[in-house]
Protein backbone atom coordinates (compact mmCIF):
# COMPACT_ATOMS: atom_id res chain seq x y z
CA UNK A 1 0.00 0.00 0.00
CA UNK A 2 1.07 3.60 -0.45
CA UNK A 3 2.18 6.01 2.24
CA UNK A 4 -0.25 8.76 1.23
CA UNK A 5 -3.52 9.10 -0.67
CA UNK A 6 -6.09 11.82 -1.08
CA UNK A 7 -9.87 11.74 -1.30
CA UNK A 8 -11.28 15.01 -2.66
CA UNK A 9 -14.88 13.98 -3.34
CA UNK A 10 -17.75 14.69 -0.99
CA UNK A 11 -19.97 11.94 0.37
CA UNK A 12 -22.73 13.02 -2.04
CA UNK A 13 -20.35 12.82 -5.03
CA UNK A 14 -19.22 9.31 -4.05
CA UNK A 15 -22.79 8.12 -3.53
CA UNK A 16 -23.83 9.48 -6.93
CA UNK A 17 -20.76 8.17 -8.79
CA UNK A 18 -21.00 4.60 -7.46
CA UNK A 19 -24.80 4.48 -6.89
CA UNK A 20 -24.33 3.37 -3.29
CA UNK A 21 -25.13 4.51 0.24
CA UNK A 22 -22.81 5.01 3.20
CA UNK A 23 -23.00 2.61 6.11
CA UNK A 24 -22.11 5.55 8.38
CA UNK A 25 -21.87 8.82 6.44
CA UNK A 26 -20.99 10.84 9.56
CA UNK A 27 -17.63 9.06 9.80
CA UNK A 28 -16.56 10.18 6.28
CA UNK A 29 -14.85 13.43 5.31
CA UNK A 30 -12.62 14.24 2.31
CA UNK A 31 -9.01 14.26 3.40
CA UNK A 32 -5.39 13.54 2.71
CA UNK A 33 -4.49 10.20 4.26
CA UNK A 34 -1.17 9.34 5.88
CA UNK A 35 -0.91 5.55 5.75
CA UNK A 36 1.18 5.40 8.91
CA UNK A 37 -1.73 6.80 10.92
CA UNK A 38 -3.91 3.92 9.65
CA UNK A 39 -7.00 6.13 9.17
CA UNK A 40 -10.44 4.87 8.27
CA UNK A 41 -10.98 5.19 4.51
CA UNK A 42 -14.05 4.62 2.31
CA UNK A 43 -14.25 1.12 0.81
CA UNK A 44 -16.78 -0.78 -1.32
CA UNK A 45 -16.45 -4.54 -0.74
CA UNK A 46 -17.75 -7.55 -2.63
CA UNK A 47 -19.74 -8.55 0.46
CA UNK A 48 -21.66 -5.23 0.44
CA UNK A 49 -21.37 -3.84 -3.12
CA UNK A 50 -24.10 -1.23 -2.58
CA UNK A 51 -22.58 0.22 0.59
CA UNK A 52 -19.54 2.39 1.31
CA UNK A 53 -17.96 1.22 4.55
CA UNK A 54 -15.11 2.79 6.50
CA UNK A 55 -12.11 0.50 7.03
CA UNK A 56 -8.73 1.11 8.64
CA UNK A 57 -5.87 1.68 6.19
CA UNK A 58 -3.26 -1.06 6.17
CA UNK A 59 -2.86 -4.69 5.22
CA UNK A 60 -2.73 -7.42 7.84
CA UNK A 61 -1.76 -10.83 6.45
CA UNK A 62 -4.04 -13.71 7.47
CA UNK A 63 -1.13 -15.54 9.10
CA UNK A 64 -0.22 -12.58 11.34
CA UNK A 65 -1.02 -12.76 15.06
CA UNK A 66 -0.28 -9.06 15.60
CA UNK A 67 -1.78 -6.03 13.81
CA UNK A 68 1.50 -4.11 14.30
CA UNK A 69 2.77 -5.84 11.15
CA UNK A 70 0.68 -3.47 9.02
CA UNK A 71 3.35 -0.76 9.34
CA UNK A 72 5.62 -3.00 7.24
CA UNK A 73 3.09 -3.42 4.43
CA UNK A 74 3.31 0.16 3.11
CA UNK A 75 5.16 0.83 -0.17
CA UNK A 76 7.74 3.63 -0.33
Q: With 0-12 CB in 10 A as exposed, 13-18 as middle and 19+ as buried, what is 4?
A: exposed
Asked if residues 52 and 15 have their Cβ atoms less than 8 Å apart, the reply is yes
> Is a pLDDT exceeding 90 seen at residue 62?
no
| Core vs surface per residue 5-35: b (16+ CB within 10 A) or e | eeeeeebeebeeeeebebeeeeebeeeebeb
Query: Looking at residue 54, what is its pLDDT?
Result: 93
**Residue 2 banded pLDDT, cuts 50, 70, 90:** low
Asked if residues 70 and 58 have their Cβ atoms less than 8 Å apart, the reply is yes
pTM score, whole prediction:
0.75
Amino acid sequence: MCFFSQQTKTAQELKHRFQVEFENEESYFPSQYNGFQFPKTPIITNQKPTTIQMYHWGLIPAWSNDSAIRKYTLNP
